[in-house]
Amino acid sequence: MEKIIYRTDKGISIVNPTGEFPIEDVIQKSVPKDTDYWIVDEKDIPKDRSFRDAWEWDGAKIKIDNVKKQVILDKKAEKDAKLNAKQEAIDSIDSATTIPELIAIVKKVISVI
């Protein structure tokens, strides 16, 4: 099935024509005016969308920009580290044996949220 792709400031947008309308009408309605677009086969679009924000069109196919990919990986690692710190803080609640310890742990939990 054919797809329409075009570049935006954030990467590549994909339009999925249903076949209900002529593709030219879909392009006119869906692709911003004065924007280059390409009609590609669905098989030429990566199935893995993990790095969609790093996709670039090189004129022949969609490629993953390695610099953008690394930024995505770094952000994910940072998010995962924050989630782990939050979970560790929550898990430590059970170790509190006094009210002051519990208050300190709750403050720690709140600080990592």
80 and 29: one domain? no
Q: What is the pLDDT along the chain (113 residues), one digit of tens a residue?
A: 899 999 988 789 999 999 999 999 999 999 999 999 999 999 999 999 999 999 998 888 899 999 999 999 999 999 999 889 888 888 888 888 899 999 988 888 788 76
57 and 100: one domain? no
Tell me which amino acid residue 108 is: K
47 and 9: one domain? yes
48 and 7: one domain? yes
77 and 58: one domain? no
CA distance 6 to 39: 9
55 and 8: one domain? yes
Whole-prediction pTM value?
A: 0.68
Domain that holds residue 15: 2-64
Q: Which of 64, 71, 61, 52 is nearest to 13 (CA)?
A: 52
6 and 40: one domain? yes
* Number of domains, the chain: 2
